[in-house]
């Protein structure tokens, strides 16, 4: 009989789903109507769980899966999994570390350029036929040059370094903050986030920071100032969204490019309706290339764990 695995989040690559179906008896939890009854009947036989970083897996569900050998996260977020519990149980928890870096950094730059140059507002202006009605150059406000902007990076991990490489190509002076100074990074380290914001034209959030919350608040946004931009491709909860919405509405910052939010998929109305914001639906890694690589890493993690080995991307064993 094929090993049974429980899939909590969809995988969008058909070839990977076919491969999983060939090797395992796959149960798609997100399609099951009576989830509690299903867990009572089948939880005892589940050997692997595939989930997403946002979905994770609850402690209660873990306790109903006594045969479980691996939780394979199709992403890099681990805050929705009780790692301490899994570590104590000897249960491998894996993530697709490194696979998302290039795409997330690309989107960070795309959001920043789009925000600076009012690309989305300009697109709406043309699509709505406003250019024909208002052909004068003054109909659209002047934008902000991106090249040469002072960029502050919050979190100099894989994504932060990839963002730094990209903004350096645009001639941007770079500062960064993290839990400590990185000896192998040539850019200026600023220990205090507010000071970094004050010295930056754009603040780009790249920190994993699973335990941090609301570190970008009104004081940081005011330090960034009315010509400053905020980009977040990290964690929604790093930002106090109420403070951000107020700062955007009042023009206390110039704009924001956001891929992540506190309570997804619910986005504050003030951010949705503002022409100062450029928004995405948590899609920084949503390319065929990256999602395929991530899914392949998930397949490998499951295969190694069910064969009795330690998955190479295990964070707990």
Helix axes 119-127, 101-116, angle to 10 degrees: 60
Which residues partner with 189 through β-bridges? 176
Comparing CA positions, the residue from 20, 21, 65, 81 lying closest to residue 314 is 81
Peptide bond between residue 44 and the one before it cis (omega within 30 degrees of 0): no
The one catalytic residue in 150, 276, 282, 310 is 282
- 199-225 CB burial, b ≥16 within 10 A, e <16: bbbbbbbbbbbeebeebbbeebbbbbe
The one catalytic residue in 63, 213, 264, 273 is 264
Query: What's the distance, CA 152 to chain centroid?
Result: 18
Active site residue 264: yes
Contacts of 307 (CB under 8 A, 6+ apart): none
State the DSSP code for 69: -
- Spatial separation of the C-alpha atoms in residues 22 and 40, rounded to whole Å: 25
State the DSSP code for 82: -
Provide the sign of the torsion angle of the four alpha carbons 307, 309, 310, 312, taken in this order.
negative
The one catalytic residue in 144, 158, 235, 291 is 235
Active site residue 194: no
- Spatial separation of the C-alpha atoms in residues 132 and 124, rounded to whole Å: 13
Active site residue 63: no
Contacts of 171 (CB under 8 A, 6+ apart): 147, 148
Q: Are 179 and 209 in contact (CB under 8 A)?
A: no
- Spatial separation of the C-alpha atoms in residues 148 and 257, rounded to whole Å: 18
Question: Which residues form the catalytic set?
Answer: 235, 264, 282
């Amino acid at each position: 009989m094929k090993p049974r695995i429980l899939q909590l989040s969809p995988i969008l690559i058909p070839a990977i789903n076919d491969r999983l179906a060939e090797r395992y008896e796959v149960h798609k939890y997100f399609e099951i109507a009576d989830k509690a009854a299903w867990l009572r009947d089948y939880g005892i036989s589940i050997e692997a769980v595939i989930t997403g970083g946002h979905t994770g897996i609850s402690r209660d569900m873990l306790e109903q899966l006594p045969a479980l050998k691996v939780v394979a996260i199709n992403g890099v977020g681990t805050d929705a999994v009780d790692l301490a519990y899994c570590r104590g149980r000897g249960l491998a928890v894996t993530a697709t570390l490194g696979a998302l870096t290039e795409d997330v950094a690309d989107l960070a730059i795309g959001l920043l350029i789009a925000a600076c140059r009012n690309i989305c507002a300009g697109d709406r202006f043309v699509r709505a036929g406003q250019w024909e009605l208002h052909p004068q150059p003054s109909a659209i406000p002047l934008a902000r040059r991106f090249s040469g902007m002072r960029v502050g990076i919050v979190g100099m991990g894989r994504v932060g370094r990839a963002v730094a490489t990209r903004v350096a190509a645009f001639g941007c002076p770079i500062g960064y903050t993290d839990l400590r100074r990185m000896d192998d990074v040539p850019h200026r380290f600023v220990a205090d986030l507010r000071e970094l914001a004050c010295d930056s034209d754009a603040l780009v959030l790249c920190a994993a920071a699973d335990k941090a919350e609301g570190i970008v608040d009104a004081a940081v946004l005011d330090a960034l100032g009315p010509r400053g931009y905020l980009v977040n491709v990290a964690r929604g909860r790093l930002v106090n969204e109420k403070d951000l919405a107020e700062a955007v509405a009042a023009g206390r910052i110039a704009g924001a490019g956001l891929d992540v939010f506190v309570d997804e998929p619910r986005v504050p109305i003030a951010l949705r309706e503002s022409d100062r914001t450029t928004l995405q639906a948590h899609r920084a890694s949503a390319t065929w290339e990256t999602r395929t690589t991530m899914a392949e890493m998930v397949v490998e993690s499951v295969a190694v764990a069910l064969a009795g080995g330690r998955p190479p991307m295990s964070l707990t064993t």
